[in-house]
Amino acid sequence: MEYVVIQSINALVFAVILLMSGLGLTVVMSLMNFINLAHGSLVLLGSYVAVFWLAIGAPWYLAFPAAFLSGAVAGAVLDRFPFRLFYARTHLMQVLLTFGLSVVFADLMRWGFGAGVATPRLPDVLRGVVFILDTPFPVYRLFVLGAGALLALGLWYLFDRTIWGAVVRACVVDRGAVESLGINTQHVFTLVLALACGLGALSGALGSGIMAAYPGLDEEVLILAFIVVVVGGLGSFSGLALSSLVLGFAMTFSKMIDPEFSNLMSLGAAAAILIVRPNGLVAPVTRQV
Amino acid sequence: MLGRGIGRRGFLASSAALAAGAAVSGPLAGRALAQAGRDELKIGLLTSLSGPFAALGESMRTGLQLHLQGVGGSLAGRPVRLIVEDDHAKPEEGVRKVRKLLTQDGVDIVCGVVHSGVALSIRDVLASANALTFISNGSANNLARKAASRFIFRPTKTNWMLGSTAGTWAAEKISKKNAITIAADYAAGREYVEDFIGAYKAGGGQVARQMWTPFGTTDFAPLLTDIAMAKPDLVYCFFAGSDAVRFLQQWQDYRLAGRIPLIGTGAVFDQEDVLPAVGPGIKGAVNAFHQSPTAPAPGAQAFVELYRKAHGRLPGEMSTSGYATGQVIAAAVDAVQGDLTNKDKVRDAVLALDLQTAYGPMRFDPANNQAILDVYINEVRVGSDGKPVNQVVHAYPKVSDPGDKA
């Protein structure tokens, strides 16, 4: 019994890690119809920012805003050049551009942060354990669980329940109509991209305490993020949350059953979902005007 | 005189420099000219400078360069030109680069190789070309057995030498029952665990469970929860690079450190690539390794001092491997007065070596050209500077791979 409870919490934590890495990707994809393969680089950037922030002994709770900010600034710059030139182009062109950039960023980060594996020096508050049914469980994982859930909720509220979110969604449907209301849609897109890149970096910062930071993490995260986004249904928030849960549990419980075949089992489950529902768990309503 | 080969990166960098019209290309060209000609000794270093083993490959190159600098850039009076190629940690890329080194560059000696898979895949190319080869790290057992070759030497360990030593130690000193093994599921992990279990069982030990995790596992939590509930008497592990850091980090997060005895082999507790990232919390864990910053052998101590002066940190396996490879090559070239034309003479010279290397004492087994090395049992302790350090607590002298007898 206690075993299943603990493993379920493990699964929830991993689901939140998946959810966070998919958030930034799905925001850009659904709201801007832009495929960003450089998303993994921003996640890794956030990890490094958090690691170095914590290493210099600055207040730990600011490490996460700092990571978010670094990603957001990078996003705003990338939006100016060269992303803006590619928003209206085909997906293939976007993939070529952003994949190329991800290779450049990987080399730049290796040059700037080194090729070794870096781990964040977490504060004592986060390094402890709590006892769940007499079993020690790392506090940091619970922190990640809470932070990720809050983040997803906040984002859902922002896009689904505020006037600002309504403007962004309207931009996707009919940019011209929004502009005729006197709203600068280019600024809206810049903000969305900065937000998405910031989210990527923030997820990297939160994840660094579990996954560490090293060259190659960018690719690993990008693949995981794409799997959850595609299984959830391209550009669907609730789909992303649902697929993170399904895959988080699949990946955790398959490791319990037989770790040797865990990838086969969990990715087999993902493939099965896509065979039954080719558009993902929750297919977004697409409208052409 | 130290040369740098032009790999993919070198090419990119130099074309960038040319494009910018930078003055950097001036001295580069000058150096290349100075090296050209007469009695140059060309050494090709095949290592991983990109991909998952990039950090390891860079350390290997650093170690070899440190040695070549120490001998003034020449061996037995011949100026050395080092040509570095990047195998991307991919077997097929390794084959391509070795062909390039042999045919296009015409190197006298090939050395390096981080990845066992690359070492095995280039073996046939090297064997059919009768190329003098020193494998610095790729430690697949088979290269000391069926795939051994007349001119391929391996101045480092085999997986068996470490795995079986760990098994012997675990059965003798830790516990004979209820052991769990957990390792990365690829060739090296399989060998390290198989050889551990062989020796552990021979010592009367019983293994309760084996766990295999895919290469590049992000989250060990489910397995660590399993281990915490199973309460084994000991856990034996093998991981490399980022997997090792994550495993040891999460091992501490789940409060298994200090509660369940942990023993590992090879790169999992590497002094340079893993321990600094993991921190002192892992103290008390034990590993069987042929390299240690506290190895008592004078050669090892001298190297640790030298490396610390040059780079401000303790060396790990990879930088040691590069340096030791340099030492073996230097001793062999010296023994034949720099004349590598008669390869059989070079081979006899290598097999006759009795060296003090950066690992410790080293000789070669004439049966399979495999190095015979001391294997240390290291315990992770916290040094006076608060950083974790591999402290030798026992040494198994002159461990040699059984070769074809295995």
Residue A282 domain-assigned (yes or no): no
Quick one: tokens of B372?
């015979």
Segment B27-39 shows an average pLDDT of 47
- What's the pLDDT band for A287 if we cut at 50, 70, 90? low
Segment A28-45 shows an average pLDDT of 91
pLDDT at position B186: 85
Range scoring the smallest mean pLDDT among B23-27, B67-71, B270-274, B340-344? B23-27
Q: Which domain holds residue A149?
A: 2-276
Q: Bigger pLDDT: B10 or B93?
A: B93
Segment B260-267 shows an average pLDDT of 91
pLDDT at position B112: 96
Share above pLDDT 90 across residues of chain A, in percent, rounded to a whole number: 69
Q: Bigger pLDDT: A215 or B360?
A: B360
User: Distance (Å) from the C-alpha of residue B225 to the closest C-alpha of chain A?
Assistant: 7
- What's the pLDDT band for A285 if we cut at 50, 70, 90? low
B221–A3: do the CB atoms touch at under 8 Å?
no
ipTM here: 0.88
Residue A287 domain-assigned (yes or no): no
- What's the pLDDT band for A5 if we cut at 50, 70, 90? very high
Q: Check pLDDT > 80 for residue A83.
A: yes
Q: Does A252 touch chain B (CB under 8 A)?
A: yes
The rounded mean pLDDT for chain A is: 91
Residue A117: strand, helix, or coil: coil
| CA distance readout (Å), B375 to A74, B196, B265 | 49, 14, 11
B214–A262: do the CB atoms touch at under 8 Å?
yes
Segment B266-271 shows an average pLDDT of 90
Q: Bigger pLDDT: B49 or B350?
A: B350
User: Distance (Å) from the C-alpha of residue B277 to the closest C-alpha of chain A?
Assistant: 5
B225–A6: do the CB atoms touch at under 8 Å?
yes
Name B213's bridge partners. Answer: B184
Segment B352-357 shows an average pLDDT of 96
Place of tokens 């980022």: B242
Q: Check pLDDT > 70 for residue B9.
A: no
User: What residues of B are in the A interface, CB distance below 8 Å?
Assistant: 51-52, 54-55, 58, 185, 211-214, 216, 218-219, 221-223, 225-226, 228-229, 241-242, 245-246, 249-250, 253-255, 273-274, 276-279
Q: Shortest CB distance from A115 goes to which of B54, B214, B229? A: B54
Give the A:B interface size as CB pairs under 8 Å.
Answer: 106
| CA distance readout (Å), B162 to B203, B290, B303 | 15, 7, 22
- Read off the pLDDT of residues B86-114 as tens digits, 9 standing for 90 and up: 998 899 999 999 999 999 999 999 999 99
Q: Does A117 touch chain B (CB under 8 A)?
A: yes
B279–A253: do the CB atoms touch at under 8 Å?
no
User: Distance (Å) from the C-alpha of residue B353 to the closest C-alpha of chain A?
Assistant: 35
User: Distance (Å) from the C-alpha of residue B372 to the closest C-alpha of chain A?
Assistant: 30
Quick one: tokens of A112?
């700037």
- What's the pLDDT band for A114 if we cut at 50, 70, 90? confident
Q: Shortest CB distance from A260 goes to which of B212, B219, B246? A: B212
CATH number at residue A227: 1.10.3470
| Residue extents of the structural domains in chain B | 37-157+298-368, 160-289+375-405
Residue B38: how many other CB atoms lie within 10 Å? 7
Share above pLDDT 70 across residues of chain A, in percent, rounded to a whole number: 98
Q: Check pLDDT > 90 for residue B216.
A: no
pLDDT at position A1: 77
Quick one: tokens of A194?
């900065």
Segment B304-310 shows an average pLDDT of 96
Q: Check pLDDT > 90 for residue A7.
A: yes
Pure H helices in B20-105: 25-35, 54-70, 91-99
Residue A283 domain-assigned (yes or no): no
Of the residues A103, A108, A119, the best mutation for testing chain B's interface (the one with the most B CB atoms within 10 Å of its CB) is A119
Share above pLDDT 90 across residues of chain B, in percent, rounded to a whole number: 81
What is the secondary structure of A3-70 as a DSSP string? Answer: HHHHHHHHHHHHHHHHHHHHHHHHHHHHHH----TTHHHHHHHHHHHHHHHHHTT--GGGHHHHHHHH
Residue A265 domain-assigned (yes or no): yes
Q: Shortest CB distance from B222 goes to which of A17, A216, A255? A: A255
A135–B225: do the CB atoms touch at under 8 Å?
yes
- What's the pLDDT band for B241 if we cut at 50, 70, 90? confident
Residue B403: how many other CB atoms lie within 10 Å? 18
What is the secondary structure of B192-251 as a DSSP string? Answer: HHHHHHHHHHHTT--EEEEEEE-TT-S--HHHHHHHHHH--SEEEEE--HHHHHHHHHHH
Segment A111-135 shows an average pLDDT of 89
Of the residues A117, A135, A221, the best mutation for testing chain B's interface (the one with the most B CB atoms within 10 Å of its CB) is A117
User: Distance (Å) from the C-alpha of residue A194 to the closest C-alpha of chain B?
Assistant: 27
Of the residues B12, B186, B253, B259, the best mutation for testing chain A's interface (the one with the most A CB atoms within 10 Å of its CB) is B253
B109-112 vs B132-135, strand pairing mode: parallel
Q: Residue B172 class from Cβ within 10 Å (0-12 exposed, 13-18 middle, 19+ buried)? A: middle
Range scoring the smallest mean pLDDT among A110-114, A166-170, B31-35? B31-35
Place of tokens 């070899």: B64
B221–A13: do the CB atoms touch at under 8 Å?
yes
For Cα atoms B301, B304, B306, give the angle at the middle one, nearest 5 degrees.
110
Residue B26: strand, helix, or coil: helix
pLDDT at position B10: 45
Residue A149 domain-assigned (yes or no): yes
B234-238 vs B262-265, strand pairing mode: parallel
Contact present, A115 and B58 (Cβ < 8 Å): yes
The count of domains in chain A is 1
Q: Has domain B160-289+375-405 been given CATH number 3.40.718.10?
A: no
In A, minimum Cα distance to B48 occurs at A115
Superfamily of the domain at B37-157+298-368: Response regulator (3.40.50.2300)
Contact present, B385 and B314 (Cβ < 8 Å): no
pLDDT at position A282: 87
- What's the pLDDT band for A29 if we cut at 50, 70, 90? confident
Quick one: tokens of B307?
């490396």
Instruction: Tell me which DSSP letter residue A171 carries.
Output: H
A210–B218: do the CB atoms touch at under 8 Å?
yes
Residues 6+ apart with CB under 8 A from B342: B336
B37-157+298-368 and B160-289+375-405, same CATH topology: yes
Segment B165-179 shows an average pLDDT of 96
Range scoring the smallest mean pLDDT among A123-132, A277-286, B221-230, B310-319? A277-286
Chain A residues within 8 A of B274 when measuring between CB atoms: 117
Q: Does A104 touch chain B (CB under 8 A)?
A: no
pLDDT at position A192: 92
The rounded mean pLDDT for chain B is: 89
For Cα atoms B91, B96, B100, give the angle at the middle one, nearest 5 degrees.
140
pLDDT at position B13: 45
Question: Cis (ω within 30 of 0) for the bond into A82?
Answer: yes
Of the residues A10, A54, A103, A133, the best mutation for testing chain B's interface (the one with the most B CB atoms within 10 Å of its CB) is A10
pLDDT at position A286: 57
